[in-house]
Amino acid sequence: MKKVVIIGAGIGGLSAAQSLEEEAIKKGMGLEILLLERKERIGGNIRTEREDGFLVEGGPDCFLSEKPWAMELCKKNGLGDKLLTTNETNKTTFVLSGGRLHELPEGVILMVPTRIIPFMKSTLISFFGKMRMGMEMFIPKKKGDSDESLADFVTRRLGKEALDKIAQPLVAGIHGGDPKTMSVRSSFPKFVQMEEEYGSLIKGMLKKMTMMKKARAAKAGSGGGRPKVSMFMTLRDGLSELVESIVARLTMTTIKTGVNVTGVIKRESGYEINTEGGTPIKCDSVIIAAPAYAAANLLKGFDNTLSDQLMTIPYVSTATVSLGYRKAVVPHPLNGFGFVIPKAENRRIMATSWVSVKFEGRAPDDSVLIRCFVGGANREESVFLSDEELTRLVKSELKDIMGIEAEPVLTKIFRWHKAMPQYTIGHIERVAEIAGRTRRYPGLYLTGSAYDGVGISDCIRLGGDTAKKAVDFMRGK
Ligand SMILES: Cc1cc2nc3c(=O)[nH]c(=O)nc-3n(C[C@H](O)[C@H](O)[C@H](O)COP(=O)(O)OP(=O)(O)OC[C@H]3O[C@@H](n4cnc5c(N)ncnc54)[C@H](O)[C@@H]3O)c2cc1C
């Protein structure tokens, strides 16, 4: 029987395992799968914890519905009725500017305005800033297809204020990233496509919205009913349920936790996997689903060029600090999903989610759950403060910004050391080089958030694609 070893039991490795099994069954092929995870816990960045009636997500708390692969996997794994939309009555996002929270105007999608009246009424952007953003429709499109930083792209199309007050804080909140170094082609390929196709982001976004409206109307007209889908989706009992649902379905896979893989070596027929304190494991194919820098360490000595190429994908560290409060002691109305903070505000947190407003069932009825993001490209050092210092820092920011003086009834800190890959300028070319070099070793695959999409949904897509390639390779072997 053929044997595959998967290194890393995050969503990338787990979804690859499930897809390998599905492909093997489809092709009538026997397969032995060994999934090795360094930590005692599986799920990688996905980590849900419950305490005193609060449901706390340590890492990701949702996935984008626009990218269908996470929703599809949830449905396939019997979690369709557990899918949870965001609270649709209160979905404003705020931006801190001049020390005050301003609404991100309704109709601004990421950084692109699509509705004129709320945009003109906004107190976030100055009159000149609004005029500049509106002019986006008349800015000619860029010549050539060279990569560009997100900062240059947004400034060129929408102006400096759109960058400083909207794009920069949003990407810091989502990617922990710095728009000056981020590749627009890799991080926001849809924007580049819109510019190429429509000559304008505003025109492209309006067109896309019209198409979506028509599709929704057609679905409702055909008896499909109103789909229960929001831009961000999660699971009622937390994202760890997705991890558990995968594990429950695996029948050909043995999962071993607490196993640190130290090296991958090419042998005449297949590969040899070395682990700390263990005997070498022989296999026909290996899928490395660990972060790029970890993959680089595993391949050192085997192919130093590939290892060096993998090291060029940078990562940043972040931390989430979740605080639970009794409602009565929170003076703020929590009238939205939370707020993001531009760098110019010089604060020590990047963003805050009003979690119990965004998703139901995250806090007891008499309480609220607030989650703050710390670290990222601009303030990575904060992640390494002690628990006491980090809690003090976050409480002091929430006091200044939201007026909360009371003590939380729950405090949960999760540190994510080098967990967010940064798709910096030239990322596409770097990944193409890595893929080209990897192809020299039939049966060796790399998957996970480092390469072609940083979110959960993309990791699931990539895990599935990788599994198909691995099965095809083993059938042909
Ligand atoms: C704070 C935070 C918030 C996020 N929020 C969202 C969100 O809301 N929505 C969204 O879609 N995405 C979000 N993301 C991104 C999302 O978490 C990732 O896209 C996804 O979880 C990455 O999965 P992965 O399997 O590629 O990597 P990981 O989850 O990092 O898994 C890799 C695994 O490999 C293991 N490993 C490493 N080295 C070895 C070794 N030598 N031997 C054995 N095992 C090894 C690691 O221990 C780890 O378990 C967030 C990320 C963070 C950090």
Q: Extract long-range pairs of 259-265: CB within 8 Å, 24+ residues apart.
A: 259/36, 259/37, 259/38, 260/38, 261/7, 261/36, 261/38, 261/290, 261/298, 262/298, 263/298, 263/300, 263/301, 263/302, 264/7, 264/288, 264/298, 264/299, 264/302, 264/444, 265/301, 265/302
Q: Does residue 438 fall inside a structural domain?
A: yes
Q: Which helix (H) or strand (E) holds 50?
A: strand 48-51
Show Cβ contacts of residue 301 under 8 Å, excluding neighbours closer than 6 positions. 263, 265, 307
Model pLDDT for residues 266-285, shown as the tens digit of each residue? 998 899 999 999 999 999 99
Residue 294 CA to ligand 1 centre (angstroms): 12
| One domain, residues 358 and 446 | no
Residue 336 is predicted with a pLDDT of 96
Model confidence band, residue 224 (pLDDT cutoffs 50, 70, 90) = low
| One domain, residues 154 and 273 | no
Model pLDDT for residues 425-436, shown as the tens digit of each residue? 999 999 999 999
Does residue 249 surpass a pLDDT of 80? yes
| One domain, residues 209 and 254 | no
pTM given for the model: 0.95
3-state secondary structure of 273: strand
Q: Write the CATH number for 395.
A: 3.90.660.20
Atom of ligand 1 nearest to the CA of 454: 19
Q: Does residue 29 fall inside a structural domain?
A: yes
Does residue 10 surpass a pLDDT of 60? yes
CA–CA separation, 414 and 434 (whole Å):
31
Residue 225 is predicted with a pLDDT of 52
Q: Does residue 63 fall inside a structural domain?
A: no
Q: Write the CATH number for 142.
A: 1.10.3110.10
212-221 average pLDDT score: 76
- Average pLDDT taken over every residue of the chain: 94
Residue 71 is predicted with a pLDDT of 97
Which of 43-57, 181-195, 200-214, 321-335 shows the lowest per-residue confidence on average (mean pLDDT)? 200-214
| One domain, residues 251 and 304 | yes
Residue 216 is predicted with a pLDDT of 75
203 in Cβ contact with 191 (< 8 Å): no
Q: Does residue 458 fall inside a structural domain?
A: yes
Residue 222 is predicted with a pLDDT of 64
Does residue 223 surpass a pLDDT of 70? no
Which residue is closest in CA terms to ligand 1's atom 8? Answer: 60
Give the binding-site residues of ligand 1, using a 6 Å CB cut-off: 7-13, 36-39, 44-46, 59-63, 260-261, 289-291, 294, 318, 320, 416, 419-420, 448-449, 454-456, 459
Model pLDDT for residues 321-339, shown as the tens digit of each residue? 999 999 999 999 999 999 9
287-307 average pLDDT score: 97
Model pLDDT for residues 392-428, shown as the tens digit of each residue? 999 999 999 999 999 999 999 999 999 999 999 999 9
| Best of 5, 34, 449, 451 for a ligand 1 pocket test (most atoms within 8 Å of beta carbon) | 449
